[in-house]
Chain A
Amino acid sequence: DAKTTQPTSMDCAEGRAANLPCNHSTISGNEYVYWYRQIHSQGPQYIIHGLKNNETNEMASLIITEDRKSSTLILPHATLRDTAVYYCIVRAPGTYKYIFGTGTRLKVLA
């Protein structure tokens, strides 16, 4: 079954880069990796997604390994407002079912 594995929690100093890893070794060849974050008491918010190549947008960068079994989300200059739970998500092949996992609780420290 499709699944993702992430560290339970991480701390990052404000202004430094936050690197959040994710293992998705069961991902199928044509499925994307998605990253969302959830700030306390709100619904999840889309950050970025990728298939094979590294991706960057105004929020973050996504580095995907060549074998596609893992990826890293990079927040280049973390701020206190980036404190949230970050989810690495895959979709079960051939379905519309998105698998969230338990996420990484990132705490940005002043």
Chain B
Amino acid sequence: DTGVSQDPRHKITKRGQNVTFRCDPISEHNRLYWYRQTLGQGPEFLTYFQNEAQLEKSRLLSDRFSAERPKGSFSTLEIQRTEQGDSAMYLCASSFRESSYEQYFGPGTRLTVT
């Protein structure tokens, strides 16, 4: 399968712990997005990378959230000092510049903060 992959698929953590999620986009895709989705809601934009540069970050993203995309390949999303309100599905998507209208989504990482 050469689609977008995310790891882990599920994560349960205690409040106050740090967590890190990984996204591997489709190999030739230079654009990468992170979204958060809570139950019954649509995905909510978190951040956008073009190659290794983080070009956009949602105001909703507190300073506890950080994302990186070293060398413009895989990306990581870290949440520090997790809170119960961080419980959600974290989705990664990638696209190719010439067809940027079509984002390919991964299966997501479901985070539960207890």
* A8–B93 CA distance with the chains assembled, in angstroms: 25
* Cβ–Cβ contact B107 & A96, under 8 A: no
* A76–B63 CA distance with the chains assembled, in angstroms: 46
Q: List 18 A-B contacts (CB under 8 A).
A: A43-B91, A43-B106, A43-B108, A44-B43, A44-B105, A45-B105, A46-B101, A46-B103, A49-B101, A87-B42, A87-B43, A95-B56, A97-B58, A98-B33, A99-B45, A100-B35, A100-B43, A103-B42
Q: Which of A32, A42, A43, A99 has the most CB of B within 10 A?
A: A43
Measured between beta carbons, the chain B residues less than 8 angstroms from A46 are 101-104
Query: A residues within 8 Å of B by Cβ?
Result: 32, 34, 36, 41-46, 49, 85, 87, 95-103
- B57-86 to A contact mask, C-beta < 8 Å, 1/0: 010000000000000000000000000000
* A46–B105 CA distance with the chains assembled, in angstroms: 9
Query: B residues within 8 Å of A by Cβ?
Result: 4, 33, 35, 40-45, 48, 55-56, 58, 91, 93, 101-108
Measured between beta carbons, the chain B residues less than 8 angstroms from A85 are 42
Measured between beta carbons, the chain A residues less than 8 angstroms from B91 are 43-44
* Cβ–Cβ contact B103 & A97, under 8 A: no
CB < 8 Å neighbour of A102 from B40, B45, B106, B107: B40
* Cβ–Cβ contact B42 & A101, under 8 A: yes
* A10–B35 CA distance with the chains assembled, in angstroms: 26
